[in-house]
Structure formats: structure tokens, C-alpha cells
Chain A
Amino acid sequence: MTTTISKLLPKRTPDSNGTKRSRIFNKHWVAGQLFRHSMLVVMLFVIVFFLWRSARFGTADNMQTILVAAAPFALIALGQTLVILTGGIDLSVGSIIAMSGMTAALVAKANPDQVWLAVIAALIVGLAAGAINGFLVSVLQVPPFIATLGMLTAGSGVAFALGNGAPINGLPTEFGKIANTQVLGLPIPVIIMIIGIVVMAVIMKRTSYGLRVYAVGGNPMAALIAGVKTQRILFSVYAISGILAGLSGVLLASRVISGPPTLGEGYELDAIAAVVIGGASLLGGRGTVWGTALGLLLIQTLNNGLDILTVPAYWQSIIKGILIVAAVTVDVWSAKRRT
């Protein structure tokens, strides 16, 4: 695959020692970038395909539909990006959504006049669950897969327990306004998503915290020797992932104005898929917030476009599955190229 890509590129004369090398149009660099982001290139073709096949796909209304659907995923995918950058994984976000959504519904029902209480409660639940994950991973050194798998299973149980095994209905209409109000022509969840992506991108690029997360994921031992408090960083990414899942839970519960205990079920897999398709390495240290945002939008676009073309759901699953594996295959191969 490497060679095919480099064949496509114009041949350049080999640099003699005297000539200055162009940094941007270096052949290897371009090939590397194409190779690394080839999945995005493929999926951009998919969009063009939808635009060609469906008149409805390109409408502003449909664009908004895609964004609204993307928002709850975006929040957990952002948290997941941080976790994956440290070389971990957070399987529990789906269950945290369910727990915090149910909590929000319970609190909203009990305090119909103070909807903000429901939001706070949901965020606290999300943060607490994330903190437990973080404690398990950073202090007790439980492998992230296991720690968060436990939280996934137990959290789902907690969600059902909160509703005594049934959905919580009859919520105040105020609660539904959180996710169903438009501000400046955009639904609130979309605004939160955009803010979340921008803030997280800036944090990762422009703050010492972001740099430390990359360092811990890239080489934990070297980070420790350079004075990074690696345990603290590990703890924080799971806590952040948890609180973002809590926020996502509120938005989802508010959108359907109820508290179904199965809220967010299976969302963790789409979030992980978004991060991976966005070019992050599951080994840690490599990946970007923008990559995740693009990966997520492309998954959502694919869902939407295939729906419009009335492709059956099972075919959609097959297509997504193939894409995820292809993205990771590319990741593994590009890692091999580097060494």
C-alpha cells in the first residue's frame, strides 16, 4: 500500500546535499500523511457519493440532523481521545451515560422547578464514575480494559436500579428544553459539541496539560523522568471522560424527555471507532482532537447517508465494521513504517 501511494506521487529528483529540502512537499511526508489519513480520504469520497445519489443529503436541514445526532457522541469521543492518547481505553462511557441520564431524570422529576440541579447531579455522577476508573487504573494499576469493563457492567446495573428496572417518565417540560432549544439558530447540543471540540483542541495543543498527556502516552517512563506526575495525568483523563459522558447523558435524556435505563447502550464502541478512524493510535501518544472530530462526523455522515438511501441497518453495521478494522490496519502499518 505504501508503494502504491508513492507511485501516485510525482517523481522527485533525489536531493543532492546542497539543495534545501522543502519541508511541506517532501515526498515521504505527503505519502506518510496520505497513508496515515487514508481512511479520511476514503470517507470523503463517501460523502461525495451521497451528495451525488441523494438530493436530500446536502440540505441544511439534513446537515443539522447529522450534527444533532453527532453531539452526544462527540462529547464521549473527546474524553475517549484523551484516554486513548495515554494508551488506555474507556469502555464504560455508555453505562455512565445511562447512570447520569437516569440520575438527571430522577432529580428533575423530584425538583421540576430547578432543572439545573438535574444537570449538576448528572455531572457529579459522571465525574464520580470516571474518578473510580481513574483510581483503578492509575493507583491500583488495573489494566484500563478491565477496570472500565467492570464499570460498564456495573454501571448498567446501577442505571436499571435507579429506575427500579423501568424507564423514568413524566418529566417536567423544562427538562426537555435543555436539548431541544435553539440558540443562534443552532440546537444547544450542537453548540456544546462545537465548544467542546474547540476547547479540547486548544487544551491539547496549547496547555502544559495537553503536552503531558501526550508525553505519558508516548513514553510513560520518559515522562516520569522528565518530572511529569504520570499517575495524576492518568487519573485525570478518566475523570474527564466520565464527566463528559455525564454531560452527554443529560443531553440524551433531555432530548427524549425521559430516563430509559438503556440510554447510551453501545455508544462506547462508536466513540472508540471515531477516535481510531481519526488516526489515533491505541498504543498511545498519537492522535488529535481534530482527527477525532472528523472521524466522528464521518461516521455520523455515513449513518445518515445510508439511512437516506434506505440501506438496511445490518448492512450499515457491516460497512462500519470493515471501516474500523481498515483504519486500525492502516495505523498498525504506518507504525511499522516509522520504525
Chain B
Amino acid sequence: MAEHNPDVALSCRGITKSFGSSPVLKSISLDLELGTVTALSGENGAGKSTLMKIISGQVRPDSGEITVRGHQLPFGNPRAAHKLGVAIVPQELASIQDMAVYENIFVGREIRKKSGLLDRRAMIAEAHTLLQSFDVDIAPQTLMRKLPVGLKQIVEIVKNSSTGARVLLLDEPTSAISDREVAGLYKVVRHLRDQGVAMVYTTHKMEEIQAIADRVVVLRDGNLVMDQPLASISDDDIVTAMIGRELETLFPPTPTRPADPGEPLLQLDDVLVDGAGGPVSLAVGRGEIVGLAGLVGAGRTELLEAVFGTRKIHSGHLHVNGKQMKKHHPVAAIQAGIALIPEDRKHSGAVLSMSILDNGSLPRLSNYTVAGWLNRGKQNAEVSAAMKSVNLKSRGLSQPVETLSGGNQQKVVLARWLTDKVDVLLLDEPTRGVDVGARSEIYRIIVDLAASGMAVLMASSDMQEILGLSHRAIVMREGQIVGTLDRDSLTKETAQEEIFKYASGLGSTPAPLSHTEGVA
């Protein structure tokens, strides 16, 4: 064991973790210092959350060692971590909505009177002092439900610090809160830092790193690729560290677009999506793959949902194949030739309990029915052909989808649309939870489908997916388009950095836009 340095609040040595056969963390060593805010950064899937969960005792690593001020931390034991003063404020807050703020702060360690009954007055007073010390103006009796997310989060932080946490982990604390609330969060974080708490703050937003971090740690593909004081590095260093430079052979050549693409197949004119910061205009032509880049919460999924009719549109027009969409409902979208491969396969992609055949025929059931009666022969033939076209590996069409691998499930979700004509293919994180082998196959399918004349709009958080597949990339932020890169600029060395700058709102040096439509 390393010698105990009094400034080090927590130290990790050689933390390794795999889920199944895929390694998530590869021998990570890291020291967290007292009174320091460490920004833990990296792309989605780099291993940030897993590392946080290991440190807070929720996940057991495969190997490695964590010591907290000289004491070894037992793995997979959140209570022990808590006792040693390690607390986590998760991305999805775990506050109890129907209890008051003070009750949330004291739940599990309530102040009692001698009689054993709750001493609510003492708890309220104590909570009041606590909140005051953070300069937070909330009445302790307020119901948690009534607070905005940003304040809930601050209550969670106050609660954790009041239990004596010396190491506080904040997992993507700004992912769900508004800019104004972020300022309040910064204040609380700085207050705790001044009190000597060691904090980890996961984020991939550059502006946050600049505003709050003392030290920057970057993970990429499970490796620790950067551990530097903020003062000694530039933004570009961080971005380079996050995205790396490995270009993979994962991608098939981007198809050449037809010489005369004609009218765009999908056209959005000033479409204001429910919850977006402003209207969006874009057009996708026949045979074109347009990548939607941006950070988590940039409004890409919401945009796709709006096009497909599962999310409300407040104003603007939507044209598919030249025809204006009047009804916003999946049934109308499907009839117009739109297909959606949603982000969360388990939640909204496939009906896992049903067979491949039934999943495969669900979107176009009316093609196989006469007066409601299923024509099993036609159903079998067409679904079977569609599944073959994506090279699905299964024991037969009657196999339940839940027993397929992630990659093959995704193929079912994709292929079920292909039993009839699709003009507009909407893809939302098409390779999430898909292993590398199946990934390149899915890329080939996407490219083939585009080559066959579909307009493809693909949201992805995987930078290489955007760069490797798109004819054009659109960068979104807060529900709006903030930048567009054409194929030429996508192949340039600087493309990733450019996208990152747009996405994180760092575009203080606006590069000339190749397309300006939709920039509000």
C-alpha cells in the first residue's frame, strides 16, 4: 500500500472492471486531494460512471484497491463507503419526492426526543442552519416535489456533506438543470471545496471544466489518458484527450450520393419541438446520411421523436417526400414512409417477450391482414426476407427477441421496417449496447440503405460514427442547430474538435458554416 499522504482524501490503485467480455476500466489509478475539484471527463461509454460507482461502493471492481485516508475501502459496500465519508450524488436523484426538504436531509438519522418520537422542530432548525451555511434560501418544510431539479440536487449535496462526507462524487450534475441553476451549484461546490472536501465532478462540457475544476482527469475507452492541473492545459488538449486519434476500419466507405438527388425526402421548416430552445430547419435528401451530433440532452432524440410523431411540435412544417405531414402520430409517420430506430431498445424498440416474427410484422401489420385476419404465410415470407437482408443470426423466426444478443436485437428493430418502402430512416444511437463485431455490420446496413435511396437522419453520441458515416453532420445544442459540417470538413483533421466546440458551446471562434439554415 502506498504511503498515506495527508492531502490525499482517496486513492485508487489499478482499478479494473469488465462487463462480460468487454473491459470498461483498465487499471485506473487516481488520487483525489482534499479541497480540490477534480473534473472527470470523457465521452459517453468511456467508463466515468462505472468508476464513480466503484468508488462509492455500488459496483465491485474485478481488481484493484481503494484507500480512504489510509483505510482500505471494502468493495461493493455502499454503507462502508458512506461510513468512510464517501458520498455520491447520482445523475438520477434519489430524493423522496413527497417528503419535506428537512425530512430528506435527516432520513435515516432522524433527531429524536427522549421519548423516542421525532423532534421535528430540532430537525427543521438544523436543516435551516445547514441550508443557510450554503447560502441556499429554501424553507426546510418545502415539499421536495415542489423544488426545481437544480435545488433538489443542492439539497442532496447539502444532505451528503452534512453526514460528514469528505469525498463527494457528483455524477453529471448539470445534465438536467438550467443555466441559472448551474450558478447555484457552482457556489455550493466552491463552498465545499473551501471546507476541504475532495470533489469529483463528471462532465464532458468544456465550459464547466473551465468554471469549476482544479484538476482534469480524462478517461477514454477505459484508460486514464490525462491527469493534469487545469492551469497547465488548454481546451484543445482536453478535447484531444477525450476523443483520441484512433481511426478505425469499422466503417464502410460512405456511399456516393446520386447525381440528381431531387427534392429532399425529409424537410423541416422552423419546427419548434416541445421542450427545445428554438425552431429547427433542416433537409435530408435521397441517399444522404445526415449525422446529428451533440452532447447528451442536446435535443437530438427529441427532434427525431417529433419527426416520428411521438413528441409534440408547437409550430413549423414537416414535409416527407414533398408532402406535408398533417397528423403527428406514429401511424401517420409510418404511412408516410418514416421509420424510427429508437435510442432505448429495451424500453421502446422491440417487444422483448414476443418472437422475431411478431416483432418483425408489428409495424406493417395491415400488410399481412385481410379483415383483421393474419396471413401467416405472407407474414413469414416477408419478415423472413427482411431478417435475411440484415443477416440476422437466430434459431428461427419463432425465437423470442429477448434471447437474442444486443446486436441481433438491433437488427430485428431495424429490419422490421424493411418489409415495405421506407423513405426516411431515423436512427437514434444505432449501435448503443451493440458489440464491435455487429457494429460494423449495422454500419454496412445503414450505408446500403442510404445507397438504395433512403434519407437517413442519425443521432449519435459516438463521434466516430458521425465522422465515419455522415455526408453531412449537424451539431445540436439546447434543441437547436448550432453548426453544420459538410463532407469535406468532416474528413479534415479538425472536424472532431470543431464538432466538440459547437456541442459544448465553446464556439467562440465561429468557423465559417457551410450551411447556415436553421441557425437561430
Chain A residues in contact with chain B, CB under 8 A?
Answer: 21, 23, 206-209, 211-212, 214-215, 218-219, 221-229, 285-286, 338
Verify B351–A225 contact, CB threshold 8 A.
no
Verify B352–A211 contact, CB threshold 8 A.
no
Q: Which residue of chain A has the shortest Cβ distance to B361 in the bound complex?
A: A211
Verify B334–A227 contact, CB threshold 8 A.
yes
Verify B374–A227 contact, CB threshold 8 A.
no
In the bound complex, CA of A211 to CA of B366 (Å): 12
Which residues of chain A are within 8 angstroms of B121 by Cβ–Cβ distance? none
Stretch of B23-31, B294-302, B340-348 with 4 or more beta carbons under 8 angstroms from chain A: B340-348
Which residues of chain B are within 8 angstroms of A212 by Cβ–Cβ distance? 362, 365
B47 close to A (CB within 8 Å): no
Chain B residues in contact with chain A, CB under 8 A?
Answer: 308, 310, 330-331, 333-334, 340, 342, 347-354, 358, 361-366, 368-369, 372-374, 376, 395-396, 402, 416
Assuming A208-B365, A208-B366, A208-B372, is B348 touching A225 (CB within 8 A)?
yes
How distant is A99 from chain B, measured CB to nearest CB, in Å? 30
Which residues of chain B are within 8 angstroms of A206 by Cβ–Cβ distance? 373-374, 376
How distant is B332 from chain A, measured CB to nearest CB, in Å? 9
A–B pairs, 18, beta carbons within 8 Å = A23-B395, A23-B396, A206-B374, A214-B353, A218-B352, A221-B348, A222-B350, A223-B362, A225-B310, A226-B362, A226-B363, A227-B330, A227-B334, A227-B362, A227-B365, A285-B354, A286-B353, A338-B402
Which residues of chain B are within 8 angstroms of A225 by Cβ–Cβ distance? 308, 310, 330, 340, 342, 348-349
Main secondary structure of the interface of A (DSSP, over half): helix
Instruction: A23-B396, A225-B308 are known; give 11 further A-B pairs, CB within 8 A.
Output: A21-B395, A208-B365, A211-B362, A211-B365, A212-B365, A218-B354, A219-B348, A224-B348, A226-B362, A227-B363, A227-B365
How distant is B376 from chain A, measured CB to nearest CB, in Å? 7
Verify A215–B352 contact, CB threshold 8 A.
no
Verify B358–A226 contact, CB threshold 8 A.
no
Q: Which residue of chain B has the shortest Cβ distance to A215 in the bound complex?
A: B351
Verify B351–A285 contact, CB threshold 8 A.
yes
In the bound complex, CA of A207 to CA of B364 (Å): 13
Which residues of chain A are within 8 angstroms of B396 by Cβ–Cβ distance? 23
Assuming A215-B358, A227-B330, is B372 touching A222 (CB within 8 A)?
no
Verify A222–B349 contact, CB threshold 8 A.
yes
How distant is B305 from chain A, measured CB to nearest CB, in Å? 9
Which residues of chain B are within 8 angstroms of A229 by Cβ–Cβ distance? 331
The one of B349, B362, B372 in contact with A207, judged by C-beta atoms closer than 8 angstroms, is B372
Verify A218–B310 contact, CB threshold 8 A.
no
Q: Which residue of chain A has the shortest Cβ distance to B372 in the bound complex?
A: A207
The one of B330, B372, B374 in contact with A226, judged by C-beta atoms closer than 8 angstroms, is B330
In the bound complex, CA of A212 to CA of B331 (Å): 14
The one of A219, A224, A228 in contact with B352, judged by C-beta atoms closer than 8 angstroms, is A219
In the bound complex, CA of A214 to CA of B369 (Å): 16
Q: Output the residue of A207, A227, A338 with the most chain B CB within 10 A.
A: A227
Verify B369–A208 contact, CB threshold 8 A.
yes
Q: Which residue of chain A has the shortest Cβ distance to B334 in the bound complex?
A: A227
Verify A207–B351 contact, CB threshold 8 A.
no
Which residues of chain B are within 8 angstroms of A214 by Cβ–Cβ distance? 351, 353-354, 358
In the bound complex, CA of A212 to CA of B369 (Å): 12
